[in-house]
Structure formats: structure tokens, C-alpha cells
Amino acid sequence: QSALTQPASVSGSPGQSITISCTGTSSDVGGYNYVSWYQQHPGKAPKLMIYDVSNRPSGVPDRFSGSKSGNTASLTISGLQAEDEADYYCSSYTSSSPVFGGGTKLTVL
Amino acid sequence: EVQLVESGGGLVQPGGSLRLSCAASGFTFSSYWMSWVRQAPGKGLEWVANIKQDGSEKYYVDSVKGRFTISRDNAKNSLYLQMNSLRAEDTAVYYCARDMDAFDIWGQGTMVTVSS
């Protein structure tokens, strides 16, 4: 049940695009199309942003997109806005249980 | 409105016990897997346990096996986490979440502090 690997921090200016990576193994990210992404603002509960690798729940802006290649999943945010500044976590189901990444702090400059 | 509301957190001494509750509303609780996810202060998210719709299957992260028990009462639309033999490293905000191979609905969380 090892955590998935994410960069500790990323940054970008308003209007720019950023990508956050999430690296696992063939036993989690690479083996299942059950990768999800969560946004968490300070003191708040996480919010689902992407599920099943690339699907957006109702109400999530289409500036948020997800993809996967091999054992690495990615979250891309285009047209960065100030309110996107938050922590982002990836998650994947494995054969036995879900596992999270360590989280990435996104700073909007 | 779809909602999850946790309760039962607090300060407990090492070795003590605590029972968390999560009240669900706005959806058919008995149709979904449910999970507990925790977050230690300043740290990332950690999945703790989940339970099948009818309670027949339960899974736990290795660090809580034998100490924590997840359960549910579909008649009361409620999810529970019985935590025994608590350790300092169990200190965290505990969230309940609807589990659909992604956690699509989250509660606001309840804080558990294990300290003497």
C-alpha cells in the first residue's frame, strides 16, 4: 500500500497551464482506469475533480482534464485562475484498496 | 442535498478508544460502498477502511488492522468507525466519503487527537 508519487509543488501564472503528475506502478495506476484527482483548499474537505482517469463530475470546469500513460497519470489545469490555488491529490484503486498520492501544492503566482 | 456529516471526534489518551459516526442524507445510502479517509495535521490523505453496501466485505489499511472496525447501519443511514488501542500517529481529521471507485462525496471531517 505505497503512496503514489506526486511533485511537492507546482506553480503558474494566471491564464497559463500546468500539469501535475502522479506516478505509481502496474499494480495501481497502470493496471486500472480508476485514477481520480481531488482539490483541497486549506481547512476544507477534498473535492473530486476527475474520476476514471479523465472524467469530470458535474460542475467541475472543463479547464480541468486528466490523462494516463503507462504507470503515470496527469492532471492538467488550463487557464489558471487564482481560485485554483490549492493542494491536489491523486488516487488509484489497486487490487485490494485505494491509495493516494502525497499531494501537490499549486501556487498561482 | 447530498450530505455526509461526521461526529464523535475528540481528545483521547494513547491506548484509548473512540467511535466515529457519519450520517448520510440525500442519497440511497444502502446502494454505495463507503470509506473512511484520514489526514494527519499538515500531511496528505490516507485511506483507512471501506465497507460494501451490505457490510459483507470490509477492507483496512495495514496500519489499523486489528485495531479499527468499520461498520454501517443502513436503516439509520449511518457509517461508523470503532477505533481501539489508539496511538499518537492516529491523530488526524477523519472524513467519511462515498466510495464509487472514486470518492465523490465527502463529509466535513471530525478531528481525533491522541495525546496524554
- Report the b/e string of B21-50 with b at 16+ CB within 10 A: bbbbeeeebeebbbbbbbbeeeebbbbbbb
Query: Would you say residue A94 has pLDDT above 90?
Result: no
* pLDDT band at residue A1 using 50, 70 and 90 as cut-offs: low
Q: Is the CB of residue A46 less than 8 Å away from at least one CB of chain B? A: yes
Q: Is the pLDDT of residue A96 over 80?
A: no
Alpha-carbon distances, residue A86 vs A1, A14, B72 (angstroms): 25, 14, 32
Residue of B nearest to A105 (CA): B44
Q: Give CA–CA dist B2/B27, Å, rounded.
A: 6
Of all residues in chain A, the one with the smallest CA distance to B103 is A48
Q: Residue B33 — very low, low, confident or very high, per pLDDT cuts 50/70/90? A: very high
Higher pLDDT, B101 or B33: B33
- A23 near B CB under 8 A: no
Mean predicted confidence (pLDDT) in A20-25: 96
Is B46 touching A (CB cutoff 8 A)?
Answer: yes
Reference A96, options A51, A23, A34; nearest CA is A34
